[in-house]
Amino acid sequence: MPDLLIELFSEEIPARMQTRAADDLRKLVTDGLVEAGLTYAGAAAFSTPRRLTLSIDGLTAESKAVREERKGPKVGAPDQAIEGFLRGAGVAREDLEVRDDKKGQVYFAVIEKPGRMAADIIAEVLEKAVRNFPWPKSMRWGEGSLKWVRPLHSILCILTDEAGAAVVPLDVDGIKSGNTTQGHRFLAPDPFSVMNLDDYEAKLKRENVVLRADERAEAIWNEATTQAFALGLEVVEDKGLLAEVAGLVEWPVVLLGQIDDAFLGLPPEVLQTSMKEHQKFFSVRNPKTGRIERFVTVANMETSDNGATILAGNQKVLSARLADAKFFWENDLRVAKAGMQPWLDSLANVTFHNKLGSQKDRIERIAALARAIAPSVGADPDLAEQAARVAKADLSSEMVYEFPELQGLMGRYYAAEASLDAQVAAACEEHYSPLGPSDDVPTAPISVAVALADKIDTLTGFWAIDEKPTGSKDPFALRRAALGVIRLVLENGLASELKAVIEHAYDKLLEHYKSRFALTFKTTSGSHRQPHADTLAMKEPAASDPFWWIDLSILSQNFADDADAFDALTKRDMFDETKFARLFEKEPVVESLLSFFHDRLKVFLRDKGIRHDIIDACIAMPGNDDLTLLVKRAEALAETLATDDGENLLQGFKRANNILTQAEEKDGVEYSYGADVKFAEDDAEKALFAALDAADAKIAPAMAAEEFSTAMTAMAALRAPIDAFFTDVQVNADSEILRRNRLNLLSRIRNICLSVADLTKIEG
Amino acid sequence: MADKPRSFQDIILRLQTYWASKGCAILQPYDMEVGAGTFHPATTLRALGSKPWAAAYVQPCRRPTDGRYGENPNRLQHYYQYQVLMKPSPPDMQDLYLGSLEAIGIDASAHDIRFVEDDWESPTLGAWGLGWEVWCDGMEVSQFTYFQQVGGHDCKPVSGELTYGLERLAIYILGVDHVMDMPFNDPQTPIPLTYGDIFKQTEQEYSRWNFDIADTEVLLQHFVDAEAECQRILDAPAQDPKTGRMIIMAHPAYDQCIKASHVFNLLDARGVISVTERQAYIGRVRALAKACADAFVQTEAGGAAA
């Protein structure tokens, strides 16, 4: 069985695309071959910066012949019908066979598809693969129309069997296939021919190309760690960078270099980021001090001076880069030490969202919100407000402008330089957290207050302007923000009145617009009114006025004084809806956001093994905006329902509830009061009265103290008396008095259970 | 080993000689303030249409925000780019490029030369292409781009564009640490001049002007004027009533586009353009560039039938 070797040789393929492209090539070609009737034993794809390679072994030499019979029209059918059949089957009239069928003589077409040679199929499949390759971005070059990631230079395509290797002829846009390739661009530029994969890989290695990306990555890592170890240092692990660097070289040569002493005072994160982002260097750390002291660069070249020139060049480039970083750092430190005010001022020019104002506007809101939240998280309100005010200052710093990924972290450094409280400095970094489901949740009260305020302001703002996530679209990462709030609350065990906080955030938003004269409103008659010009004060719209409108033209301006604002106001005499954004009413916004939190909470708890119906049963209870309480309740309920008593109690409750609901519907009254033990006849009935009294005595105080387990255990203890009651007692007694008393007794069961959780929501 | 150039101008002269030997027309800088060599009509406009083209030139560039009063070792508000444009891009363009490095003293066997992904996009020109930044020992020495679109038009055939940042490249080749210390002419000459002798003072003067003095009101007016003039030029009927000829004035209109773009850069350096306005300004320049490209492809040089 022949083996197939394909190499697509091009100008340098972006590192980040290589692995995926090799995979795509394998898939496109093997799928095509199989579809055309070939089979194969195995396939493997490889990539280097200049080539995609595919090896398929154990390929069948040809596809099998296929014979197909098709039944056609009756003999004597109209010519049109017969012509149509011939066209569809692709045969001539004289080739039709006449056979006897139940209903008479019928035409049959016998279509013989001869087997095809593998080479023919490969040529067809490969050309199609090249022409339809799913590059993330592709280009044309010269005068051609073919698209590839960068200009494609040659195609190697050989089929090898016992008789030897043969080129599979094909021509894609003037590029003819052959059996040759090239080695390293500089070290071994001459073309050479190959016979099969082993020969190819061995010759490439001789010509200074390591075919396999994982082999290159491993060689780089081993050599780098060895060199670092010899100096008592360690390489900072970075798998992403390692994969990228392995895609930048065909012949990795690892060089360990020095960082000029002048830069060792920079924060290690700055060194690391600058070296990685700009130069693709690995950082080398002194394990004793934690400082980054050296770097590793990976060249694609062997030189007669063993890389001395290359290393010197790299060190020089690094020095220039770090000089820039140092320049930013030192400039930033000056601003930081003086209190960061210029940064805060310039955030007024950074738009957060065109309907939600600038970053500065947002900070104002977050600061107020953080202050309001502070007491409930055990934070000092003054410090929380201060932290919120400076938490985003670093967005204006030169370092963060250069390296956006250092936001927060630089804020922490700069806040420390500004001699702010250590808790404030920590909040600058931590308030972005948690970013993902596995990210650590801050626990320091100030950080928690700012993190909550930041996220809740974001959510409330986008909800107010109706930019909610839909389906897979969540451009503002609002799901992540909501999950962040949930984790902050739960993992810190915070008692949260989320509803009040959202309302507060909404009020702040409204207040913010009012103070900027950015609001107008639509009256019930449909006309639009602006704030009263004489006083420059907002007049509240009538309660019946449906919406607030944000004037975007005013929102985007920062007025030097009121006179300017006044001018801008009085100049406008038309209401142009394209220049306005609607701000939705508070109550629906709050309700909708709260239910979004509940949805997110369900997803979060589902991952922790708590069923959605259990959560629903708890969400239906009052105080559901306290997520900690909600989860405690859900956990206790899940635990109770997992017990035998709990499960049976649930059935008992459902039975009681069903009987009661039916009776209430039938009688048109509500049985909610007045079950009297004096009408109890049966022992089981009396026992149930006693049990309910006992449960009441336990459950009410336990619920008041939010001791859900206690309450639910007490509830579950009702199981036996309820079961006994249903076994021994007939609710629908002949005596109307007895019946009513028993229904009222069932109502007590229902009330007690519903005071713990809405068990009607539980499935099963 | 290739012999080493001894001065900044030596590097420029070698590039000129090299690319002339490869068949490029050696053009002179465009006589307007531009932010990059790409703005020269020999690149922007000539990348459009079907007519073959090969040109190389030095282009002084101005980036007001990069001014550092001549203090930064390699950041300047005025600097030079060397630009090559070949249409259609020849199949051996990478090798031609590597030949140019050798011509200016970079011996490929002693250095680590790499083509690192860098997609190029100019929002102001409505242009994009794919290519690389070329690294020599970790330093970016050139941009290499296959133009796919300019002024909103598909490039057919595709042009290959090379851009060398001359100061940075020269600092490296000549082994100096600060751009101002770099020999501009031959250091052995009776009157040796460094880059600083020529440009230190102007860097200071322009840095001050760019950042603090430039009259933003006047600049804003210049922008509006250039925009209006560009449109007015393009709105003129194609047939010239005086000569009776078809004369579409793509180049004069494009000059106004260049002007608007530079004024925008100056305004940006003065810090008077907010983030939201920025996008709007870029969009306005792009609209001009597109209109100029539309006009150019209707001219003879733009490949329209004469």
**Greater model confidence, A425 or A556:** A425
Q: How far apart are CA B80 and CA B260, in angstroms?
A: 21
Nearest to B75 by CA among B60, B63, B86: B63
Q: Beta strand A180-182 with A191-193: parallel, antiparallel or unpaired?
A: antiparallel
Q: Decide if A123 contacts A167 (C-beta within 8 A).
A: no
Which chain B residues are within 8 Å of A138, Cβ to Cβ? 130
Chain B residues within 8 A (CB-CB) of chain A?
72-74, 88-91, 94, 108-117, 119, 129-132, 136-139, 146, 148, 155-158, 160, 172, 274-276
pLDDT at site A576? 55
Q: How far apart are CA A296 and CA B201, in angstroms?
A: 39
**For the domain A644-761, what is the CATH code?**
1.10.730.10
Residue in chain A lying closest to B129 (CA): A139
Q: Decide if A639 contacts A608 (C-beta within 8 A).
A: no
Average pLDDT, integer, range A461-483: 90
Cis peptide before A434 (omega within 30 of 0): yes
State pLDDT tens for residues B92-151. Answer: 999 999 999 999 999 999 999 999 999 899 988 999 999 999 999 999 999 999 999 999
pLDDT at site B184? 98
Residue listed under structure tokens 């363009």: B93
Average pLDDT, integer, range A456-478: 90
Q: How far apart are CA A525 and CA B306, in angstroms?
A: 64
Q: How far apart are CA A754 and CA B3, in angstroms?
A: 91
> For A354, which of B91, B155, B276 is closest by C-beta distance?
B276
- Would you tell me how many other CB atoms lie within 10 Å of the CB of residue A33? 24
Radius of gyration of chain A (CA): 38
Which chain A residues are within 8 Å of B94, Cβ to Cβ? 11
pLDDT at site A348? 81
Terminal alpha carbon distance of chain A? 59
Q: How far apart are CA B269 and CA B77, in angstroms?
A: 10
Q: Decide if A184 contacts A207 (C-beta within 8 A).
A: yes
pLDDT at site A705? 86
Comparing A137-146, A348-357, A466-475, A502-511, which segment has the lowest mean pLDDT? A348-357
Average pLDDT, integer, range A137-163: 96
> For B117, which of A15, A151, A313 is closest by C-beta distance?
A15
Q: How far apart are CA A56 and CA B146, in angstroms?
A: 33
> For B138, which of A14, A151, A313 is closest by C-beta distance?
A313
State pLDDT tens for residues A532-545. Answer: 444 434 445 555 55
Nearest to B193 by CA among B182, B202, B201, B203: B182
pLDDT at site A561? 45
State pLDDT tens for residues A22-36. Answer: 999 999 999 999 999
Taking CB atoms and an 8 Å limit, are A140 and B146 in contact across chains? yes
Q: How far apart are CA B186 and CA B5, in angstroms?
A: 9
Crossing angle between the packed helical segments A683-704 and A708-716, to the nearest 10 degrees: 170
- Would you tell me how many other CB atoms lie within 10 Å of the CB of residue A658? 11
pLDDT at site A95? 82
| A–B CB contacts, 8 A cutoff, strictly below | 109
SS3 A439: coil
Average pLDDT, integer, range A279-297: 95
The residues facing B54 across adjacent strands are B86
Taking CB atoms and an 8 Å limit, are A303 and B111 in contact across chains? yes
Q: How far apart are CA B133 and CA A334, in angstroms?
A: 34
> For A11, which of B94, B139, B275 is closest by C-beta distance?
B94
Q: Which residues contact A530 (CB under 8 A, 6 or more apart)?
A: A520, A569, A572
Which chain B residues are within 8 Å of A249, Cβ to Cβ? 114
Nearest to A510 by CA among A596, A585, A592, A588: A585
- What is the DSSP annotation of A697-747? HHHHHHHHTT-HHHHHHHHHTTHHHHHHHHHH--SS-SSHHHHHHHHHHHH
Comparing A49-63, A587-601, A749-763, which segment has the lowest mean pLDDT? A749-763
Q: What is the mean pLDDT of chain A?
A: 88
Which chain B residues are within 8 Å of A354, Cβ to Cβ? 276
Query: Distance from B185 to chain A by nearest Cα, in Å?
Result: 24
Residue type, B53: W
In degrees, rounded to 5, the angle at the alpha carbon of residue B96 between the alpha carbons of residues B94 and B59 is 100
What are φ and ψ of residue B273, in 5° steps?
Answer: -105, 120
Which chain A residues are within 8 Å of B155, Cβ to Cβ? 140
Crossing angle between the packed helical segments A586-606 and A445-464, to the nearest 10 degrees: 120
Which chain A residues are within 8 Å of B137, Cβ to Cβ? 299, 309-314, 317
Q: Which residues contact B237 (CB under 8 A, 6 or more apart)?
A: none
Which chain A residues are within 8 Å of B89, Cβ to Cβ? 141-142, 151
Residue in chain A lying closest to B155 (CA): A140
Residue listed under structure tokens 């400095």: A425
Residue in chain B lying closest to A12 (CA): B115
Residue A154, H or E segment: strand A152-161
SS3 content of chain A, % helix, strand, coil (to 5): 55, 15, 30
Token output for A685: 């009935």
Terminal alpha carbon distance of chain B? 50
Q: What is the mean pLDDT of chain B?
A: 93
Q: How far apart are CA A86 and CA A77, in angstroms?
A: 13
Which chain B residues are within 8 Å of A253, Cβ to Cβ? 112
State pLDDT tens for residues A633-687. Answer: 999 899 888 888 888 888 889 988 998 888 888 888 888 777 888 888 888 889 9
- Would you tell me how many other CB atoms lie within 10 Å of the CB of residue A476? 17
Residue listed under structure tokens 């100030």: A446
The number of helix segments (H) and strand segments (E) in chain A equals 27, 22
SS3 A71: strand
Nearest to A340 by CA among A270, A387, A396: A396
Q: Is the pLDDT of residue A504 over 70?
A: yes
State pLDDT tens for residues A34-60. Answer: 999 999 999 999 999 999 999 999 999
Provide the residue ranges of all domains of chain A, joining segments of one domain with +.
3-62+117-206, 66-113, 213-337, 341-507, 644-761
Taking CB atoms and an 8 Å limit, are B275 and A303 in contact across chains? no
State pLDDT tens for residues A87-112. Answer: 888 888 888 888 888 878 888 888 88
Which chain B residues are within 8 Å of A318, Cβ to Cβ? 138
State pLDDT tens for residues A331-385. Answer: 999 999 998 999 998 888 777 887 788 888 899 999 999 999 999 999 999 999 9
Taking CB atoms and an 8 Å limit, are A299 and B89 in contact across chains? no
Q: Beta strand A175-178 with A191-193: parallel, antiparallel or unpaired?
A: unpaired
State pLDDT tens for residues A592-607. Answer: 999 999 999 999 998 8
Q: String of b and e for B246-271 (b: at least 16 CB within 10 Å)?
A: eebbbeebbbbbbbbbbbbbbbbbbe
Q: How far apart are CA A501 and CA A460, in angstroms?
A: 10
Ranges of chain B with pLDDT below 50: 1
Give residue A524's pLDDT band: very low, low, confident or very high (50, 70, 90): low
Q: How far apart are CA A688 and CA A725, in angstroms?
A: 7
Give residue A583's pLDDT band: very low, low, confident or very high (50, 70, 90): confident
Give residue A21's pLDDT band: very low, low, confident or very high (50, 70, 90): very high
Residue A65: CA atoms inside 13 Å, Cβ hemisphere, count? 5
Residue in chain B lying closest to A280 (CA): B138
pLDDT at site A559? 47
- CA distances A489 to A327, A634, B205, Å, are 40, 15, 57
> For A313, which of B72, B73, B139 is closest by C-beta distance?
B139
Q: String of b and e for A613-630 (b: at least 16 CB within 10 Å)?
A: bbbbbbbebeebbbbbbb
| A341-507 has CATH 1.10.260 classification | no
pLDDT at site B135? 94
pLDDT at site A85? 87
